[in-house]
Amino acid sequence: MAVCRRHGSGETRCSFEFDVALRFSQRRRGSLSALLFRMSQQGYVAAPPFSQAQPGIGGYQGGFGAPPAQPLYGHYGGPPQGFNAPPAGMMKSPPTSPAGMPPSPVSSQYNPSVQQNGAHPQRYASPSAASPPYGQPSQSVYNSMASPAPPTQQLANQMSAMNLGSYAPGAMQSHPPPPTSSVAQQHFQTPAPAMGQPQMHAAPQTPHMASQNQMSPPQSPLTNMPASGQSMGGQPFPGPPPSGQGAFQQHGTGPGAPSGYPQQSGQFGGLMSGPQPGMSGGFPGAPGGLAGPPQKKLDPDSIPSTTQVIEDDKARLGGQVFSTNIRGQVPPLVTTDFTVQDQGNASPRFIRCTTYSLPCTAELAKQCQVPLASIIKPFAKLPENETPLYVVNHGETGPIRCNRCKAYMCPYMQFIDGGRRYQCSFCNCVNEVPVFYFQHLDHMGRRVDFYERPELSQGSYEFVATLDYCKNNKPPNPPAYIFMIDVSYTNIKSGLVKLVCDELKTLLEKLPREDGAEASAIKVGFVTYNKVLHFYNVKSALAQPQMMVVSDTAEMFVPLLDGFLVNYQDSRAVIYNLLDQIPDMFADTNESETVFAPVIQAGVEAFKAAECSGKLFIFHSSMPTAEAPGKLKNRDDKKLVNTDKEKTLFQPQKGVYEQLSKDCVAQGCCVDLFLFPSQYLDLASMADVPSHTGGSIFKYNNFQVATDGEHFLRDLRKDLQKSLGFDAVMRVRTSTGFRATDFFGAIYMNNTTDVEMAAVDCDKAVTVEFKHDDTLSEESGAFMQCALLYTTISGQRRLRIHNLSLNCTSQLSELYKCCETDSLINFFAKSAYRAILNQPVKNVRDILVNQTAHMLACYRKNCASPSAASQLILPDSMKVFPVYMNSLMKTAPLVGSTELSTDDKAHQRLSVMAMGVEDSQLQLYPRLIPLHNVDVSSEAVPDPVRCSEERLSDSGLFLLENGHSIFLWLGQASPPDLIQSLFNVPSLAHLQQEHMFTLPELDNPLSKKVRAIISELLEKRPNSMKLQIVRQRDKLEMLFRQFLVEDKGLHGGSSYMDFLCYVHREIRQLLT
Amino acid sequence: MSTYQEFIQQNEDRDGVRFSWNLWPSSRLEATRLVVPVSCLFTPLKERPNLPPVQYEPVMCSRANCKAVLNPLCQVDFRAKIWACNFCFQRNPFPPSYAGISEVNQPAELMPQFSTIEYIVQRGPSAPLIFLYVVDTCLEEEDLQALKESLQMSLSLLPPNALVGLITFGRMVQVHELTYEGIAKSFVFRGTKDLSSKQIQEMLGLTKPAAPGQQGRPVAPQDAAASCRFLQPVHRVDMNLTDLLGELQRDPWPVPQEKRPLRSTGVALSVAVGLLEGAFPNTGARVMLFIGGPPTQGPGMVVGDELKTPIRSWHDIQKDNARHLKKATKYYEALANRSAVNGHSIDIYACALDQTGLLEMKCLSNLTGGHIVMGDSFNTSLFKQTFQRVFRKDYNGDFQMAFGGNLEVKTSRELKVCGAIGPCVSLHSKGPSVSENEMGVGGTSQWKLCSLNPSTTLGVYFEVVNQHNAPVPQGGRGAIQFVTQYQHSNTQRRIRVTTIARNWADAQSQIQLIESSFDQEAAAVLMARLGVFRAESEEGPDVLRWLDRQLIRLCQKFGQFNKDDPTSFRLSESLSLYPQFMFHLRRSPFLQVFNNSPDESSYYRHHFVRQDLTQSLIMIQPILYSYSFHGPPEPVLLDSSSILPDRILLMDTFFQLVIYHGETIAQWRKAGYQEMPEYENFKQLLQAPLDDAQEILQTRFPMPRYVDTEHGGSQARFLLSKVNPSQTHNNLYAWGQETGAPILTDDVSLQVFMDHLKKLAVSSSA
């Protein structure tokens, strides 16, 4: 059983103990919580059920335990499903299955298990059904087990009652009394072992218990102990040391670990295809499953829950003010609504770090393997109630900077010598204060004008840049937007061209403008193209627009300047005329070939000629096959998936695009790409430029105006109206001892320090990795300053400065405490997505798992109080890290499935590279919002539930969104009245195709509420999402299921539970 | 026989031919000793109102390398229906259609008065005329406006079925599609990239992607349908084109201070040539290039866009300091040759105050027979009227332009062709009548003249073959046949055949006769052409020295003098004017670059080598008329002594028409006497030169610069620089005298020139 509890040191422990069959249902928790509260504060202790050495188990172990370690491992590397399969199979497998399981060789074991996957149906069993059986017993057990945690200071805020509630289930089931087991038995009839549980626990367990345990590992209840100051001893955990040893032994005994991998992976690879049929098979069976008794239900509530963590944080910090006046302060989660008060450090909206306490030494950093990184979103949108950045103007001298390291004046500069000089906190250089800037110091040694100068008191602010900061020492021109529309046959036929043209007429009125400006300073230009490019002269003086055809695609140029980029207000009539005519002009086209690189080149040339920066909006349909630079050929080869050459699918095809990116960045030309493919178009190559220029990539497969039109237009509107900075260069300076070494994002790096972005908008984030140069001092801490030089939408040159101070520590526990999972996963996602360009996906997955295990093992070893090896102990700050990591590995780029389109993989890869923490969090852990019991009278959006099939109910309505897709899932037993209120049809069966993409506007509270929720979500997310309405067991449901990240992946990848077990195993191996 | 004067005149009127010698020396050596080569000025399309073309094909000698056309000089056996070629002596039967031939029923080509005859041949489809406007948009607003109006006006002058096209250029080159509806469409080319003809056609969408196997096949003119978008019958696109021209904007690219606008003349021409090459090979077409400044970028660039680097001057060229000169010239030569091969001619209308790069571009027109017009602005009557005159029509209502000309010269055995000088390119047709010794464009007996008009005149140079010891037997006649094939402006293909013959004379026994057959006017022009031709490739002083030497040798040969006694020197009447021509030629802008920009020199030379004899002589020695109360207007010496206070002078230099009011006249005019009724005669006096000038202006192409000036006026320099400086500040005796006006120059006067000439001619050491 899994026991979770709060541990004094602020960690989550999950110990999986074989013998404890207890499960705590949610309902029980309430009662538990009180107990837990007292006993352990911080640790989650999940005692997995596997620990026993029972015969049944033995077999299990054989499969799972020792030798398995490697197989599993290989498994991870390879097609992940193999791994999942066994547990899943176990869980659901009919009683007969056990036979297959036991001692048989690994491979054979898996196979059957795979088949058993088909048993999914059981999943449908609603948790509620299972609940009764669950473990009250545990409570008592728990009580007894729980040992007082050491009184380590646990920040109250870390623990909330909520946590307790959610994780409360049995703390230490390890020693649970038989009663538990009896209960469990019902559930888990099949002996199918879940994870190889070493015989952690006392043998006493009965066989059933064992079997039950096996099933349940995932359930391992996690306890959240209240944050109350008390700490509970770490020792409590049931798993006696010896058991742990056992586990290790098993590992040890396994075949030569490393050598074993490859073969095994091969084996598993073979399995891959298996699971899917299994899956599909599962659906039909579902009803049966439902009907059936919830036999071997594992309690998923027992493992750390993301939704819970989010809710806890929300409850604790939601709506509060976060003042940035303290060094190294860990901000609320990205999912929490809070208000930031800038008091000397940049708002977490601008910068988030993987940890807010840096390790003092490189050794320490190496030891814990926690990546040190910041995710900087320099243009993050601030909520209305937060003060926008102040603009500081130092006149002709320009911003004051340190003479040596060129850091900008900031709150960390130490004024000395009566204010005549200041010491740079980054390089320690002592600088003279310029005469005009001199100010006396007060008794605190602070400048008297401290509060009058944003650059002294704020974490983020802007400087007006002088001509020295401008290209060619000339003030920049206002930026321009060029709309480049592919008018080849496909786009004409799909109606896209007309749609875009019509939309632009109104949309252009809403170009972003400087606050208070009457009209946007942005100029606009229009290009259409197929094999050749057509530029349009829309000079206001003309009666008719003029078309200029450039067919020299080999060496692109812009045929005109004056009249091409115009002020929309002035040329409105001509532009209208043009937009009206474009669809007609090409109505009869039969040109199906397109060019692409020359189109971007044309944009660059236009900006070059106009001496401005800007953005290209390209609406493109197909692979550019016309004879021109950047011509692409179909190289989509599914055979490469899961081979060493898979990386080539992610790499851009030609050097042309590389050079083009360079040109774009040099000119400040950002490219936003809207793709409307009907087949493979080599997105990896086509999106190379957007992904280096701070652009976005939007993709609408098989675009049809009727179904995707609105979706696309929403994207376009959002994208067009985004506020952004152009022609940006970002530099991250750090105090001595560490420095920025690597950068991830939609950026271009010409050298190792300057991050160049043709444009950067409010959703683009750059992830920066830091490395030690030297030792950091705990006392002085660490500083970073991110300076972004850019051009505003009205054409002013500015410097945006974000400062952040961090703590430094030589205590690993402190470091772990200050980690932030969301940021970590952002970093991991980006680094993994970059890594797959250079190495096989399998390696990357291995590395991810390894590092995850390593981080956690290090914590376990150095920070956690001693406990049984069978316990999985997670730092509190990372307790949901595994679920994200698992989700990450199941993402299209990493999962290594041939089922997924190469373009989709590339698309996802590139989108994530530019994401901020908020978006990556959502992407990796979608919101699943139950709607069937929504309170129509309240404003609030219902709390999301965990992304797992088990949370769905036949009679439920759920909304799922991950920032890119949004689904409305209708259980097949959805109450007709709900369907009636939402769709105005009597039942699900009456839903027609046209209902599948929109909700009708009906005048009833539920419809209003649901639509309000959806539109609020659409409003909030950077991308528009296409609403898809999915009926349970529709074909489309497969799509939907992909996003249930806690479940086994549809295209491979293990379930959360399995992953946790696997990581646990790895950790234990590391700890030996 | 009448005088040679009359003979020459008659010949010129009938055949458009003027020979330097009208009796030919019978051996090579003697010919060489005559100094001036046996040569002629030939005007292939000389207007012959009384010469109706015949509607059949010429009869040609059947010998493959002869192909001479039946002519009045042939011996005909009417009975046997056989004629003997007078060039190769091949006996040819008449074709069946000549069956009815007899002494009394001769075809026109056998009649002596038809030594020049024109055939209309019905070969091939007749292609419409093509006019492709290539317009520079880097102009001042006012200039562009004027140009647009001229172009719009020209549409009404074109034959309705003529095809027109429009290319505009500035920084970019735009080829306008003319059949648009709604949005005006144009294809744009980068102004800096040299494109091959194939690329251009591809980019314009003129070629269908060649099916495999068809690779390399030349684009068939059938593709005309595709090119129609760019070249359309005037009557169909009149409106569109007028609108298009109306909307034409100045080049929209900003020109920074201290920079020249970027002008892609080179690429524009390349596109024009490529377009025609692909769509209408071997069809008469006219590319009309309008430029308002030098090419400043891309291939064919003449000067950079930095204003601080001025365009090359003669000084730079002499110092080898003209960076772009060679490259640009080479580029334009290549273009010109391509264009010439296809029979397309290129006109250049350059209107700017500064140079526009004519030096580099001249070959475009020189090789293709196009016009060059140079003016200060498109908004001047000089340009406007000249441009209108391009579309002049003859008495038949046909355009005075012909295309795709091909001139072949056939000679009897005693002669060989050395070359030709004029607006032509060699067709590299080697034959028995081609001399090794090249003069002008040689090494061929055929030349291409892409565009011709009635005044186009070539200088053709010959060589006597026979050696001294085997001279041509006396009493024989040498014959020359000029066969000119061309596309008439009414799209007919025509062949004009001119056959002439001259007697042979023994230079030793009949030197007087030969001397008297000397046509000094023709000789002067022919020698001048040789000089100008040389000047294109040689240093100026060398050319002058060569000319001087030729003159001295001529004087030695034909002058009558006692050795070493200059005063005894006399020249016969037939040579008397020749030294004077040479004197003025030496001073002319064709050979003197001083005071002229390279563009001007190119411009002058361009016209010099194509105009007929009369015009050429005017160019060499301008005509000066004097108007006074003393009598009717009279031609006066082109001498400073002619500049008198009470005279009005009218000088015609071909390029300029100067009316100069003498000091007194100018004062009177200023005082307004002409307004007073009692001085009506003064008014008439003032008016007379104006009327005469008007007459010249009416007919001259290109229209000359019209200058109305007076004593002391700044523009008087045009006159003062031309007249013989007989009185200068150097010859003191002239000072204080009332007659004439001293010219402030160190140039030698005619008198001094003649003195030296005599001295050298009589010198025994020379």
Q: Quick: pLDDT tens for B421-458.
A: 999 999 999 888 899 999 999 999 999 999 999 999 99
**Does a structural domain hold residue A907?**
yes
Phi, psi of A189 (to 5 degrees): -80, -40
Is the model more confident about B145 or about A171? Answer: B145
pLDDT at position B176, please?
92
Q: Give me the torsion for CA of A643, A646, A647, A652, rounded to 10°.
A: 160
Taking only the tens place, the pLDDT of each residue in B658-712 is: 999 999 999 999 999 999 999 999 999 999 999 999 999 888 989 999 999 998 8
Q: Longest Cα pair distance anywhere in chain B, in angstroms? A: 88
**Does a structural domain hold residue A806?**
no
Which CATH number fits the domain that encloses residue A908?
Answer: 1.20.120.730
- Kindly state whether residues A920 and A930 are assigned to the same domain: no
When pLDDT is averaged across residues A948-960 and rounded to a whole number, the result is 89
pLDDT band at B740 (very low <50, low <70, confident <90, very high): low
Is the model more confident about B274 or about A868? Answer: B274
pLDDT at A614 over 90: yes
Write down which residue in A694, A722, A750 finishes a domain. A722
Q: What residues in A contact B187, CB-CB < 8 Å?
A: 548-551
The answer, for A980 touching chain B at a CB cutoff of 8 Å, is no
Q: Would you call A653 exposed, middle or buried from its count of C-beta atoms within 10 A (0-12, 13-18, 19+)? A: middle
Write down which residue in A722, A742, A760 finishes a domain. A722
Q: How many CB pairs under 8 A join A and B?
A: 71
Q: What residues in A contact B183, CB-CB < 8 Å?
A: 536, 544-547, 578, 581, 585
Whether residue B203 and residue A560 make contact (CB cut-off 8 A), yes or no, is no
pLDDT at position A1034, please?
84
Decide: helix, strand or coil at residue A484: strand
Total domains in chain A come to 4
Taking only the tens place, the pLDDT of each residue in B377-398 is: 999 999 999 999 999 888 888 8
When pLDDT is averaged across residues B22-46 and rounded to a whole number, the result is 92
Is the separation of the CB atoms in A149 and A225 below 8 Å? yes
Taking only the tens place, the pLDDT of each residue in B54-98 is: 999 899 999 888 889 999 999 899 888 899 998 988 899 999 888
Strand partners for A957: A970
- Share above pLDDT 90 across residues of chain A, in percent, rounded to a whole number: 41
Find the CB nearest A581 among B183, B190, B204: B183
Which CATH number fits the domain that encloses residue A1021?
Answer: 3.40.20.10
- Share above pLDDT 70 across residues of chain A, in percent, rounded to a whole number: 72
Whether residue B184 and residue A551 make contact (CB cut-off 8 A), yes or no, is no
Is the separation of the CB atoms in A942 and A931 below 8 Å? yes
Find the CB nearest A552 among B185, B193, B249: B193
Is the separation of the CB atoms in B662 and B627 below 8 Å? no
Whether residue B253 and residue A549 make contact (CB cut-off 8 A), yes or no, is no
Q: What residues in B contact A544, CB-CB < 8 Å?
A: 182-184
Can you tell me the distance from the alpha carbon of A348 to that of A322, in angstroms, rounded to the nearest whole number? Answer: 9
Whether residue A545 and residue B205 make contact (CB cut-off 8 A), yes or no, is no
Pairing of strands B75-77, B82-84: antiparallel
Whether residue A548 and residue B188 make contact (CB cut-off 8 A), yes or no, is yes
pLDDT at position A13, please?
53
Can you tell me the distance from the alpha carbon of B620 to that of A783, in angstroms, rounded to the nearest whole number? Answer: 88
Quick one: three-class SS letters along A289-307? HHHCCCCCCCCHHHCCCHH
Q: 């977490």: which residue's tokens?
A: A348
Instruction: Pick the range with the lowest mean pLDDT from A42-56, A531-545, B332-346.
Output: A42-56
- Kindly state whether residues A835 and A980 are assigned to the same domain: no
Q: Is B474 left (phi over 0), alpha (psi -120 to 50) or beta?
A: beta
When pLDDT is averaged across residues B199-206 and rounded to a whole number, the result is 85
- Kindly state whether residues A610 and A716 are assigned to the same domain: yes
Can you tell me the distance from the alpha carbon of B639 to that of B750, in angstroms, rounded to the nearest whole number? Answer: 9
Can you tell me the distance from the alpha carbon of A1057 to that of A1063, in angstroms, rounded to the nearest whole number? Answer: 10
- Kindly state whether residues A882 and A980 are assigned to the same domain: no
Alpha-carbon Rg for chain A in angstroms: 30
- Shortest distance between the Cα of B587 and any Cα of chain A, in A, equals 48
Alpha-carbon Rg for chain B in angstroms: 28
Q: Would you call A516 exposed, middle or buried from its count of C-beta atoms within 10 A (0-12, 13-18, 19+)? A: exposed
DSSP secondary structure letters along A318-380: TT-EEETTSTTPPPPPTTS--EEE-SSS--TTTEEESBSEEESSHHHHHHH----EEEE-TTP
Q: Which segments of B104-169 does DSSP mark as H helices, in order?
A: 141-157
pLDDT band at A75 (very low <50, low <70, confident <90, very high): very low
Mean pLDDT of chain A: 75
- Please give the sequence-ordered ranges of beta strands (E in DSSP) within B488-551, or none if there are none: 493-505
pLDDT band at B227 (very low <50, low <70, confident <90, very high): low
pLDDT at position A770, please?
94
pLDDT at A805 over 50: yes
Strand partners for A670: A615
pLDDT at position A19, please?
29
Can you tell me the distance from the alpha carbon of A144 to that of A778, in angstroms, rounded to the nearest whole number? Answer: 40
Can you tell me the distance from the alpha carbon of A681 to that of A635, in angstroms, rounded to the nearest whole number? Answer: 9
pLDDT at position A62, please?
35
Beta-carbon contacts of residue B112 (< 8 Å; ≥ 6 apart):
B72
- Kindly state whether residues A534 and A665 are assigned to the same domain: yes
- Share above pLDDT 90 across residues of chain B, in percent, rounded to a whole number: 56
When pLDDT is averaged across residues B548-567 and rounded to a whole number, the result is 91
Decide: helix, strand or coil at residue B634: strand
- Kindly state whether residues A511 and A425 are assigned to the same domain: no
When pLDDT is averaged across residues A701-728 and rounded to a whole number, the result is 91
pLDDT band at B741 (very low <50, low <70, confident <90, very high): low
- Kindly state whether residues A917 and A942 are assigned to the same domain: no
Find the CB nearest B184 among A535, A546, A550: A546
Find the CB nearest B174 among A548, A551, A563: A548
Find the CB nearest B172 among A539, A545, A559: A559
pLDDT at B640 over 90: no
Token code pair at residue A424: 């740079």
Beta-carbon contacts of residue A548 (< 8 Å; ≥ 6 apart):
A534, A535, A536, A537, A559, A560, B174, B185, B186, B187, B188
- Kindly state whether residues A540 and A413 are assigned to the same domain: no
pLDDT at position A557, please?
87
- Kindly state whether residues A408 and A533 are assigned to the same domain: no
**Does a structural domain hold residue A694?**
yes
pLDDT at position A76, please?
38
**Does a structural domain hold residue A998?**
yes
pLDDT at A340 over 90: yes
Is the separation of the CB atoms in A47 and A870 below 8 Å? yes
pLDDT band at A231 (very low <50, low <70, confident <90, very high): very low
* Chain-centre distance for alpha carbon A664: 28
Strand partners for B494: B120, B486
Can you tell me the distance from the alpha carbon of B14 to that of B8, in angstroms, rounded to the nearest whole number? Answer: 10
**Does a structural domain hold residue A879?**
yes
- Nearest alpha carbon to residue A329 among A366, A301, A357: A357
When pLDDT is averaged across residues A694-706 and rounded to a whole number, the result is 92
When pLDDT is averaged across residues B529-549 and rounded to a whole number, the result is 91
pLDDT at A889 over 60: yes
Find the CB nearest A560 among B185, B190, B252: B252
Q: What residues in A contact B203, CB-CB < 8 Å?
A: 532, 551-552
Can you tell me the distance from the alpha carbon of B73 to that of B765, in angstroms, rounded to the nearest whole number? Answer: 47
pLDDT band at A867 (very low <50, low <70, confident <90, very high): confident
Can you tell me the distance from the alpha carbon of A707 to that of B588, in angstroms, rounded to the nearest whole number? Answer: 82
- Kindly state whether residues A837 and A978 are assigned to the same domain: no
Helix (H) or strand (E) holding A843: helix A841-862
Q: 């000169």: which residue's tokens?
A: B325
**Does a structural domain hold residue A301?**
no
Residue A930's domain comprises 926-1044
Find the CB nearest A561 among B190, B247, B253: B253
- Nearest alpha carbon to residue A1050 among A282, A112, A276: A276
Mutate to test the interface with B, among A549, A558, A601 (most CBs of B within 10 A): A549
Nearest-Cα residue of chain B relative to residue A563: B252
**Does a structural domain hold residue A582?**
yes
When pLDDT is averaged across residues B267-288 and rounded to a whole number, the result is 90
Which CATH number fits the domain that encloses residue A425?
Answer: 2.30.30.380
pLDDT at position A12, please?
53
N- to C-terminal Cα separation, chain A = 23
pLDDT band at A888 (very low <50, low <70, confident <90, very high): very high
Q: What angle do CA B325, B330, B331 make, to 5 degrees?
A: 100
pLDDT at position B398, please?
86
Can you tell me the distance from the alpha carbon of A980 to that of A978, in angstroms, rounded to the nearest whole number? Answer: 5
- Kindly state whether residues A658 and A516 are assigned to the same domain: yes
pLDDT band at B739 (very low <50, low <70, confident <90, very high): low
pLDDT band at A1053 (very low <50, low <70, confident <90, very high): confident
**Does a structural domain hold residue A561?**
yes
pLDDT at position B594, please?
84
- Kindly state whether residues A866 and A891 are assigned to the same domain: yes
Taking only the tens place, the pLDDT of each residue in A177-215 is: 333 333 333 333 333 333 434 334 433 343 444 334 344
Write down which residue in A669, A698, A722 finishes a domain. A722
pLDDT at position A249, please?
34
Pairing of strands B91-93, B477-487: unpaired
Taking only the tens place, the pLDDT of each residue in A756-768 is: 999 999 999 999 9
Which CATH number fits the domain that encloses residue A568?
Answer: 3.40.50.410
- Shortest distance between the Cα of A383 and any Cα of chain B, in A, equals 43
Mean pLDDT of chain B: 88
Whether residue B254 and residue A545 make contact (CB cut-off 8 A), yes or no, is no
Pairing of strands A754-761, A748-749: antiparallel
- Shortest distance between the Cα of B187 and any Cα of chain A, in A, equals 4
pLDDT at position A829, please?
95
Q: Which amino acid is at A957?
A: L
Is the separation of the CB atoms in A115 and A285 below 8 Å? no
Whether residue B184 and residue A609 make contact (CB cut-off 8 A), yes or no, is no
ipTM given for this complex: 0.83
Domains of chain B, start order: 23-122+401-504 (2.60.40.1670), 130-205+229-390 (3.40.50.410), 622-723 (3.40.20.10)
